[in-house]
Amino acid sequence: MRKLLGTISLLLCGFLLIGCGSKQKRPEESKEAKALLQGVWEDEETDEVLFKLQGDSVYYPDSTSMPAYFMVAADTLYIGNSTRYHIEKHSEHVLWLSNGDDEVIKLHKDDDPDDDVEEFSEHQIQTLTEVVKKDTVIYYNGNRYRLYFAINPTKYKVKLNTVNNDGLEVENVYYDNIIHLSIFNGSTQIFSRDFRKPQYEKKVPAQFLTKSILNNMEYDKTDAEGFHVNASLCTPGNASCYMVGHVISFDGKLTTKLLEY
């Protein structure tokens, strides 16, 4: 029995070693190919500028897209940490890339890249919401209430990978928001709070939350429970949103629940 167990252990160790030895690694970078790719690349048919390769970075003419690191290894162009394109054809002035959807992106190098210097303006982080202030007056059971909303862009960044019109994956960065809500009964403040995206981590899946912004908060209704307001967390440039409902009681207590996706 001991001999059998020993044999099984040796076999398992052998399989583990084979697995470790066969683990795929990214091939060694080709410095020559990277040097050959330096420059501004345009669509072969339309002459539209798609990107510029300079040093170790790829820059896009869309000022909202972040520059990314790139390298060339064997017949593959790597951009960022996870995006790769198979190189179908490559010379000093010609580059054909396969984006993984059986589509070949055909590019040629611009002979006079100085013509396109204005295409690559400084990267800008997008603010989806300007400072917004909303004021709502409500009468309920003979009392006059006032709700103040203030949506304020922050410097908290939300990164989102998207595919542009040319089939290239790019990284966009957006500023998240903080939303302030105050409620008054006459001149008496009964509620005041700042709402931030991390407060919704128990209501919204983490994978969605990291790619979304706290987009808006709106008044819904008033009933015996209190004031109902709805917050929306949305993926920038996408229709995907979670709506979270808040109820603020007349004595300033807050309850929260997920309404819809």
Residues 199-227: pLDDT tens digits?
A: 999 999 999 999 899 999 999 999 999 99
Segment 248-260 shows an average pLDDT of 93
* CATH no. for 126-260: 2.40.128.510
Q: Is the pLDDT of residue 186 over 70?
A: yes
* Cβ atoms 241, 235 nearer than 8 A: yes
DSSP symbols for 99-160: -SSS-EEEEEE-S-GGGGGGGSPPP--EESS--EEEEEEEEETTEEEEEEEEEEEEEEEEEE
Between CA 203 and CA 210, with CA 208 as vertex, the angle to 5 degrees is 100
Please state, in angstroms and as integers, the Cα–Cα distance from residue 85 to each residue in 65, 72, 73, 216, 238, following that order. 18, 10, 11, 38, 25
| Predicted model pTM | 0.61
Out of 64-73, 96-105, 123-132, 143-152, give the one with best mean pLDDT: 143-152
* Tokens read off for 115: 């013509």
> Residue 231: which of 212, 249, 252 has the closest Cα?
212
What single letter denotes the amino acid at residue 213? I
pLDDT at 8 over 70: no
Note the pLDDT tens digit of each residue in 14-52.
333 334 444 455 568 888 888 888 888 888 888 888 888
178 or 156, which is more confident: 178
pLDDT in tens, 78-127: 887 767 888 888 888 899 988 766 788 888 988 775 655 555 655 555 55
Do 126-260 and 27-115 fall under one CATH topology?
yes
Phi/psi region, residue 61 (left: phi>0; alpha: psi -120 to 50; beta: rest), is alpha
Q: What CATH topology corresponds to 27-115?
A: Lipocalin (2.40.128)
User: pLDDT class for 10, splitting at 50, 70, 90?
Assistant: very low
Q: What integer best gives the mean pLDDT of the chain?
A: 80
Token output for 159: 């990164």
- How is the chain split into domains, by residue range? 27-115, 126-260
Whole-angstrom CA distances from 256 to 102, 231, 247 are 46, 10, 6
What dihedral do alpha carbons 158, 162, 168, 171 form, nearest 10°? 0
Distance CA 214, CA 180 (A): 12
